[in-house]
Amino acid sequence: MFAFITGKIREVSAEGKLIVMVGGLGFEVQLNQRDQLGLEIGQIVELYIYEHIREDQFGLYGFVDSASKEIFVRLIGVSGVGPKVALAIVSSNQTDQLVRAIEDGDPRLFEQVSGVGKRTAQKIILDLRGKLVIADQKQASNSLTQPLAQALEQLGYKPAQIKQVTGIIDPELSLSDQVKQALKELRQ
């Protein structure tokens, strides 16, 4: 399962799809419109990745921050909200505005998004109210170690083990070097 990729942009399409070259492989990644702004061919990009796998489709969705990815994942968990609608919602507003609208019970922000009616907006609020504030605060408190923590989590390490090493790893290192250093610490 993919959690994060870093690579060079090979193509940018009008539909919000990027082809990101990583180690000789080209990954097609769907981005929200807000994250796509300012991206150019040849630019190095770092993206949090969500894999959407169904019987008849496989898609990669990319986000420049983990909070946007988390809201996207929570949104597609709501009955009636698929990845296209969730991506449109994430594109429509900043993460903190979405969280605030959910916590305040304000469906108007969601109803403005194409494909979201009053019933779906209310369902989003009902299902997610009270579940996003902690995630939003967690993102703000430790944004430097998020890619490392997610990588270690994907490798099967427990949160207590991850917390133990993320504070001692040099944040100036590349992600792969951080992971190597963390694995070395965890083996001791």
Q: What is the DSSP string of 56-82?
A: TEEEEEEESSHHHHHHHHHHHTSTT--
At 21 the pLDDT is 94
Other beta carbons less than 10 A from residue 12's beta carbon: 16
pLDDT at 62 (0 to 100): 92
Q: What angle do CA 66, 124, 158 make, to 5 degrees?
A: 40
Supply the pLDDT for residue 8. Answer: 94
pLDDT per residue rounded down to tens, the chain (188 residues): 778 899 999 998 878 899 999 989 999 999 988 888 778 899 999 999 999 888 888 889 999 888 889 999 999 999 889 999 999 999 888 888 898 899 888 899 899 988 889 999 999 999 998 877 544 444 444 444 578 888 888 788 877 788 778 778 887 788 888 888 888 888 87
pTM of the predicted protein model: 0.67
Cα separation, 74 vs 3, in Å, equals: 16
Q: Write out the two tokens for 18.
A: 């990027």
pLDDT (0 to 100) of residue 179? 86
Q: From CA 145, how far away is CA 66, in angstroms rounded?
A: 11
